[in-house]
Amino acid sequence: MKMEMEEDDKILDRKPVVESEGLQFLQQTVGFVFSDYGWYIFFGVIALYLLVQRMRQIKGLKRKVSVSTEDPSVVVRREEALEAARRRMQEELNAKAELYREKQKQLEEEKRKQKIEMWESMQEGKSYKGKLKLNQDAGESSASNLATRPKPKSDKKSLRGSDYNPLSGSGGGSCSWRPGRRGPSAGG
């Protein structure tokens, strides 16, 4: 019996040694893997987590879209309202274009009348330039107020005389530019 107990003790002692060696091997292997590739594993797990979250979000959106299909009558009403708004805007644009065309025709008619009057006054031997300028000024003011007319130059006295030239060196003052010497520098 004593021998059997000794053998049992040896067997019991051997099992923990084998198990502890396996645990030590596993611990060393995992330690080496994490020490060499720890950051890669860490970021890989984070990327995997974010990917899973994104996939869940996409699946949730697909369910919402499939569940909440719109009522066909609502879609038809929305499209009819959109078409009516487009039609209204097109009518406004057409009205503005028609007004513009009428103004252009009116201006053309006025120009034609001015040319006829100018031709008749020339045939009679009268001066037509005075009337033409008056008619043009009236026509321009009525035709388009948006166009800017050139402003007449005011007769202001200039600060310097008309004979002033900044490159000549004359004109007073102690600031006059002189060109440098020609040729090589006079160094040692």
pLDDT score, position 125: 83
Q: Is 181 helix (H, G, I), strand (E, B) or coil?
A: coil
User: Buried (b) or exposed (e) across 33-63, using 16+ Cβ within 10 A?
Assistant: eeeeeeeeeeeeeeeeeeeeeeeeeeeeeee
What pLDDT, on a 0 to 100 scale, did the predictor assign at position 165?
73
The predicted structure's pLDDT at residue 121: 86
What pLDDT does residue 174 have? 61
C-alpha dihedral (63, 66, 68, 70), degrees to nearest 10: 160
- For the chain, list the strands marked E by DSSP: none
Residue by residue, pLDDT tens for the chain (188 residues) are 556 666 666 555 555 556 678 788 888 898 888 899 989 999 999 999 999 999 999 888 777 665 556 788 888 899 999 999 999 999 999 999 999 999 999 999 999 999 999 888 888 887 766 555 555 565 555 555 545 566 666 677 777 777 777 777 665 556 666 777 777 766 65
pLDDT score for 129? 63
